[in-house]
Amino acid sequence: MNIIPFPDRAEWPALLARPVQSTEQIEAVVAPILARVRAGGDAALVELAQQFDKVTLDATQLEVTSDVLDAAENQLSVVLKAAIRQAYQNIRTFHEAQRQTVEKIETMPGVTCWRKSVGIERVGLYIPGGTAPLFSTVLMLGVPAQLAGCREVVLCTPSNHPAIYFAAKLVGITKIFRLGGAQAIAAMAYGTESVPQVYKIFGPGNQYVTAAKMLVAKEGVAIDMPAGPSEVAVYADDSAIPAFVVADLLSQAEHGADSQVLLVSTSKRLINSVNLTMSTQLGKLPRRDLAAKALENSKAILVETHADAIDLLNQYAAEHLILSVENAEAVSDEIINAGSIFLGNYTPESAGDYASGTNHTLPTNGFARAYSGVSLDSFVKKITVQHISPDGLQVLGPVVEAMAEAESLDAHKRAVSIRLASLTEANLV
């Protein structure tokens, strides 16, 4: 790792900057794919599957059949199925606790307001193929969709890994399609003869998938959040165990060459120990070439004080933040910008990625300053409801009349005045 001792605060923005992505160039490739699917439907999807994924399909083979889903369970080991079921239960338990009961609020006598949650009717989940079958993401997206009561949940993936199908069946996904890349996003955004149009799209993907999500968002299709390469920041002091820190850094680096890895510490000894341990652990990884590429751009930043570390970490706004420090929970109270926080020496990021219960779909690229990770709320709409009694309108009405008149919106005022007049007349009879 590149060790940077005591950088001046003026240097922090440059040190913490993510790699700049050429969005215009990527969008120029993606936009014609979107247009092609919009115009050509299933036929375009078949052509694009051949062009980009080298998969020969016809329109009748786009959807995964129930027979394939049923057979997937028999292709997995007992151990893996048990692990997936346990992860499912933990994720469900955590997200189920996010349900909110309807609470009616009387803002003034006779004026009652409340809010109800309604599941988004149709949602689309994207699971990339890539170098790893991300069946864990099927759970992370499928469980809250299931709990929210979304009526139709569509999954698109170029992968045919049985664990993806097993997880999809577990969370009750209604339709699965053998589709990848920007064309899968287009299919869910616009709908085709086979693929239902959805109202919100979730899921990770490469830069082309991300660009496709951003482009369809401009056209009115909701997406989970802006996304970039996955990232981790570790804040460690002398209470940290260097081998654990290295393992956490490498678990993020193995995602890909563009993954972001950052270590922050007030201890030069800790940083040196991590650097010495890194090569040993790296050499044992099957994906060491990918991890090594990511580590070329990684940084270990030595700071003077704990306050400096907190300020730097809040400025970085990491997707994953591991606090391997004394009094980690108290330190977490000082963090205001992060996607998900992991406390202490025995809480690896991997636990959150798979099975502790929290969601692993998190804001990257600094978006944790304003965005939350996926939750049950991501799959519902909040609809407000209000009811005003005749007595309530007599109290609230003059307030509304005065405000509407001041804004020169006479019809707004009249909608109240005509009701108040009817109440006065009724009282006179």
**Binding-site annotation: residue ranges for substrate:** 230, 252, 255, 320, 353, 407, 412
How far apart are alpha carbons 346 and 168 in whole angstroms? 30
Catalytic residue among 95, 161, 254, 319: 319
How far apart are alpha carbons 158 and 180 in whole angstroms? 5
Which residue numbers belong to the known binding site? 126, 183, 206, 230, 252, 255, 320, 353, 407, 412
Q: What are the respective helix, strand and coil percentages of the chain, to the nearest 5?
A: 50, 15, 30
Catalytic residue among 95, 161, 320, 360: 320
11 annotated active-site: no
SS3 63: strand
Q: Which helix (H) or strand (E) holds 13?
A: helix 12-16
How far apart are alpha carbons 413 and 429 in whole angstroms? 25
Q: Which helix (H) or strand (E) holds 315?
A: helix 306-316
- The total of other beta-carbon atoms located within 10 Å of residue 270's CB is 22
Residue type, 230: S
Residue 88 gets the label, from left (phi > 0), alpha (psi -120 to 50) or beta, of alpha
320 annotated active-site: yes
Q: Which two tokens stand for residue 365?
A: 């690229």
Cβ contacts of 278 within 8 Å, gap of 6 or more:
1, 246, 249, 250, 295
Residue-level length of the chain: 429
Q: Among 294, 302, 259, 255, which residue's Cα sits nearest to residue 278?
A: 294
Which residue numbers belong to the known binding site for Zn(2+)? 252, 255, 353, 412
How far apart are alpha carbons 64 and 58 in whole angstroms? 12
Which residue numbers belong to the known binding site for NAD(+)? 126, 183, 206
Active site residues: 319-320
